Every structure is written in structure tokens, then in C-alpha cells.
Amino acid sequence: MQRIQLTEDLSFSRFIHGLWRLDSWNQTKEETLDLIKYAIEQGITTFDHADIYGKFTCENLFGRALAIEPSLRDKMELVTKCGIVIEAPTRPQHKSHHYNTSKKHIIESVENSLSELHTDYIDVLLIHRPDPFMNPEEVADAFRQLKEAGKVRHFGVSNFKHHQFTMLQSYIDEKLITNQIEISPYQLENIEDGTLNFCLENRITPMAWSPLAGGALFKGTDEKSVRLRDALEKVKAEVGASSIDEVAYAWLLSHPAKIMPIIGSSQKERITRAVRALDYQLTIDQWFEILQSSMGHDVP
């Protein structure tokens, strides 16, 4: 498995396992542990969480599995996110859906995540969404306190545009090491609006959520999905892949930004197919054929 060096003391596996649907997989803690171990066996050592996933249940489900075999913690990198507030049975204090990036909320969220995940530290904490009411001085204070306490090693953001990233970075002493954004052959917004170029400019390696467009590549009936599926099928035959998801992942992996796709599946075969994408190197013609099928027209 390829690894991406984010800092001198931290690297991620090129593929990341995403746990945002863990509550819907209906697994026993032993089954979740088995899936974690399978991912690690494939070289996927980085696991992505957020406090709100499963209405604040997914971290706990993962943590209960990890508690069976605590030594696995040393073989993985844990990412989690905070800053979104939603109503949930386990959070009666939450009265509405909003954002909260106050120092108090960030620190409380991390304390909860540490407890739920059965770990003493988070490798990377992300602010989940840009907050229009954000006080960056409070965020910086929270990050500094968590770092000094050894509770979080590094920090980043999720879904930030370049102006939001640079604003927050200007208040923080250490580098924000990643931006988790939506990128797929179907969803080109962060390519077209310069977000990916900003990552390249600033040597920020992005994580890609929904790299298969939430299944639209397989079952979407709109014209764009159909065009893309045809292009992916064509390239699949050319490179000898066994499925179009391998080609979609290879398309992301080919980009010079060193995109790290998040696999959000409980199915071992889907994880295996994702890893196989590392074996395919698309030609520039194939890469642009997929891009233009998504755009619906040739590049200028």
C-alpha cells in the first residue's frame, strides 16, 4: 500500500476507511473488529470518523471493537471531525442544527471522541465544515491546548474553500495538514473552483469523500451518470480492470495532488477492489476522456 507523508512524524495510507455509515452496517463488535483487521491487512491503516456520524454513535461502535484488541491502536491513524451540531437522543443539550467551533465545543468534542474511540489521542482533528460564525482565535486556542495536552497530534479542515483555509491558517502556528473535500469523476466542483489547485500550491494533501459519488456511477440514471458510466466501462476494458469503481479510484489516484480516497464500505470485496486501483495507471487520454464525459463537453 502506498503511503502519503503528511508531516515528519505522520503518514496516512493512500486509501482511508470511512466509518460514517458504521451504525447502519448492523455489525457485532466482533464483526467490526474483523473488518478493521481486514482493512489493516490490505494496508489501509487510516480510519476516518466524525463525532456526528450515526447521530453520535459510530465512534462508540468503532471504539467498542477496538477495545477488544487495544494493541491495534498502534497500527492505525485515527481522524475525526467536530463542529457540526445536530439534534440527537444522546445529545439532549442540542436544540437545533448549527455549527459550533468555539473553544469550549471543540475541546468537549475531542474529549467525547477520545472516550468513544477508546484511545488516548487523535492523530488528526478536522473542523468539519466552514463556520460563518467562527472565531479563529478560539479555534487556535483550542488547537494549542489539545496539542500541548497530547490529545491531538495534528489538525486540518474539511469542506473548506481556499479563502476559508487561508483565513484559519493565518491564526494557527502549525500547518493545517489536510482538507477533506468531495471529489469524484462525477463531482468536479473542487477541481473547477481552484480548491485542488490551492492544495497543490500549498503542499496540502487532500482526502476525498464520496469518491464514487454515492453510487451514482453505478446506478445513476441522469445523462451525466450514463455518460460517465460508458466512459468508465470503456477505460475498464482498456486497462483490464474488473469493475468501474477501480477505474474511478484510479482516476483520482492519477491526479498530481496525491488525493487520498475514503472508502465508505463494509464489504471486503469493495475494499479489495479499491486497493487494486493502485495497480492501474491511466493514460492522459483516458484521464481526460473520463473528465470530459463528466463535463459533457470537450475541454476548451
pLDDT of residue 87: 80
Q: What is the pLDDT of residues 190-240, one digit of tens each?
A: 999 999 999 999 999 999 999 999 999 999 999 999 999 999 999 999 999
Q: Residue 50: what residue type? A: A
Q: Where are the alpha helices (DSSP H) in 73-157?
A: 103-117, 136-148
Q: CA 262 → CA 121, 180, 210, 288, distances in Å?
A: 21, 9, 7, 22
Q: Are 207 and 179 in contact (CB under 8 A)?
A: yes
pLDDT of residue 6: 97
pLDDT of residue 92: 67
pLDDT of residue 96: 82
pLDDT of residue 138: 98
Catalytic residue among 53, 186, 249, 280: 53
How far apart (Å, rounded) are the C-alpha atoms in residues 49 and 62?
Answer: 9
pLDDT of residue 189: 97
38 among known catalytic residues = no
Buried b (16+ CB within 10 A) or exposed e, 139-152: bbbbbeebbeeebb
- Mean pLDDT rounded to a whole number for the chain: 96
Q: What is the pLDDT of residues 125-154, one digit of tens each?
A: 999 999 999 999 999 999 999 999 999 999
pLDDT < 50 stretches in the chain: none
Superfamily name with CATH number, domain 3-177: NADP-dependent oxidoreductase domain (3.20.20.100)
pLDDT of residue 95: 66
Question: How do strand 77-82 and strand 122-127 relate by DSSP bridges?
Answer: parallel
Cα-to-chain-centroid distance, residue 239:
27
How far apart (Å, rounded) are the C-alpha atoms in residues 298 and 293?
Answer: 8
pTM: 0.96
- Burial of 298 from C-beta contacts in 10 A (0-12 / 13-18 / 19+): exposed
Buried b (16+ CB within 10 A) or exposed e, 72-92: bbeebbbbbbbbbbeeeeeee
pLDDT of residue 91: 76
